[in-house]
Amino acid sequence: MPMHAELVLKRATVLTVDDRDRVAQAVAVRAGRIVAVGTDAEVDTVVGPSTRVLSLPGKTVVPGFIDSHTHSVHVGEFRFSLQQLNLPAELVPSIPEVLELVRTRAAAARPGAWIGGRNYDPNGMRERRWPTRWELDAVAPDHPVMITIRGGHACVANSRALAAAGISRDTPDPEGGVIDRDANGEPNGVLRDVMSIRAAIPPSTVEELKDGLAGISDLYVRLGVTSVHDAGATPRPESYRAFREAVEEGRFKPRAYLLVYHDFALANDLGLRTGFGDDRLRLGGVKLFADGSIQCFTCAFREPYVTRETKGWEGLRYAQGALNEAVTEAHRLGYQVAIHAQGDYGITVAVNALEHAMRAFPRPDPRHRIEHTLCPTVEDLKRMHALGIVPNFFLFHPWFWGDQHIREFIGRERAERMVPARTAIDLGMHPCAHSDCPVCTPDDPVWPSNPLWGMACAVTRRTRTGVDIGAAERITAAEALRVYTINGARASFEERIKGSIEVGKLADLVVLGANPLTSDPWAIKDIPVEKTIIGGEIVYDRDLARSATRKETTG
């Protein structure tokens, strides 16, 4: 007698994302795996008396979304805590308003407690600048204050926070970072890629980190995210203990692939390598930085920024020889290597280092990665393809920052070529995509890290003001779906167990309220996630969630 399925989804449009992009009607699940895919009649053969059958007319079933670059543990830390002041220019557009919020928060805080803000955007403010340390001193004289740009690569700190970090007039700029100064050489509070400020903040406990993971987990599953690649936690054992315990306790539901910061991984080498673990929590590669952030003018370009006399080379974390050495050691040891690189010159430096390592110590399919890959040249994309390097794109750039890219950063011509997903796919590459959460959080009222939103951005390539930005780099909705599913699985060497709806694979599925392949391209972002299923378990149900919200509201 055949074993019956535990769960069946039928009368749906099932986008399998297999090698032939087949479309089915039904899918069956048993013991956390997919056991049948096909027509309703074909899948009915595994339905038994105890099978839960969900009839989904008008709904679309897709593989679970894979967010290929997040920093989930950071949500439990001060710098990215969701309890911080949320200060995007769209919500808090002027410095006086920012200062008043800091003043109010300081008045309610215990003496000496750190005051934090997140998602600040100096280029979007009316004043088009950061507040100064002295303006922050005036509204919070008894508290260290740190306000962080969206992305975390820059912040402004008041005098108490600078002192806690040991930053003074005599402190030199660190390698790969800049301490901004006034006309007299005094630090004005703005720190761009200056890591020492992070060490001054009181560290979170394991329980606080786990609470952060639990909170972001709930937000992920609401958006259909069933797997994340965590691209670096605070380099201390507590971060990884928190991740392990949160997964074991069922508080973090998506599957996780952990990229560990290079120096921390090699300094604490236990002999574990990329792929160690199980399908819930797996060790990924090591993470390095080649350059910084375009919003902070620390991405390294061949040509200057359009509004500053800099190419951003001050954001380079390594000279070429030093990066070659670091990457080669990690590659030799057997790690996958993921390098943050955004400017065209920074990407060249990163690809050079990976190419050097692979020639020095050949090994089959190391599948190294370039994270963000904002402005690669076609020549570097071709080199990446030849070397099997995976580009990981932040597909939101055209809409989120497109107008600023044109006006503030790199100008129209270069902005047309950023996040070149079309070129990468046409070359035969398999790009993946990400939110960089908590750079953008799933509940962000301005810039939500929604995979469907990312798909819409990739398909339309429009800015907030409606400017077409790089129409030649648009991809199809079907290609965008692959980027967020099977390509993400491939980037973590897991394409044989997830990323498509095929018999034998993990039953990670998302039920959508509409078909993204037939929807208006920009409307893809508004398609509701009806259900999220991980390993055959329904971890999010929109109807139940709305019912619970109504009860809370009326109760």
Q: Given strand 52-55, what is the order of strands in its sheet?
A: 33-38, 26-30, 7-10, 52-55
147, 211: one domain: no
One domain for residues 370 and 479: yes
Task: Give pLDDT, residue 553.
Answer: 58
Q: Is residue 486 predicted with pLDDT exceeding 50?
A: yes
Residue where the block lists tokens 């393809």: 385
Q: Is residue 42 part of a domain?
A: no
pLDDT tens-digit series, residues 513-543: 999 999 999 999 999 999 999 999 999 999 9
Helix (H, G, I), strand (E, B) or coil at 154: strand
Q: Do residue 187 and residue 257 come from a single domain?
A: no
Please tell me the pTM assigned to this model. 0.94
Q: Is the pLDDT of residue 87 over 90?
A: yes
The count of other CB atoms within 10 Å of the CB of residue 293 is 25
Mean pLDDT for 272-285 is: 96
Predicted confidence at residue 555, as pLDDT, reads: 58
Q: What is the dihedral of CA 182, 185, 188, 194, to 10 degrees?
A: 130
- Name the band, by pLDDT with cuts 50, 70 and 90, for residue 232: confident
User: Is position 542 within any domain?
Assistant: no
Report yes or no on 9 lying in a domain: no
pLDDT given for residue 107 in this prediction: 96
* Cα–Cα distance for residue pair 225/66, rounded to 1 Å: 6
Q: For the segment 539-555, what is each residue's pLDDT rounded down to a tens digit?
A: 999 999 887 666 655 55
Count of structural domains within the chain: 2
Mean pLDDT calculated for residue range 270-280: 95
- Per-residue exposure over 201-229, b if at least 16 CB sit within 10 Å of its own CB, e if not: beebeeebbbbbbbbbbbbbbbbbbbbbb
The neighbour count for residue 504, using CB atoms within 10 Å, is 9
What is the percent of the chain with per-residue pLDDT over 70, rounded to a whole number? 98
My answer on whether 186 and 215 are in the same domain is no
Same domain, residue pair 219 and 360: yes
pLDDT tens track for 410-434: 999 999 999 999 999 999 999 999 9
Place of tokens 């509201």: 553
Q: What is the mean pLDDT of residues 98-121?
A: 95
| CATH code, domain with 141 | 3.10.310.70
Task: Indicate whether 473 and 516 sit together in one domain.
Answer: yes
Confidence (pLDDT) at 464: 92
In angstroms, rounded to a whole number, what is the distance separating the alpha carbons of residues 23 and 14? 5
pLDDT per residue as tens digits for the range 26-85? 999 999 999 999 999 999 999 999 999 999 999 999 999 999 999 999 999 888 888 899
Residue 437: CATH number of its domain? 3.20.20.140
pLDDT of 1 over the 50 cut: no
Domain of residue 330 covers 67-71+206-534
The answer to whether residue 43 sits within a structural domain is: no
Q: What is the pLDDT of residue 551?
A: 62
pLDDT at 101 over 90: yes
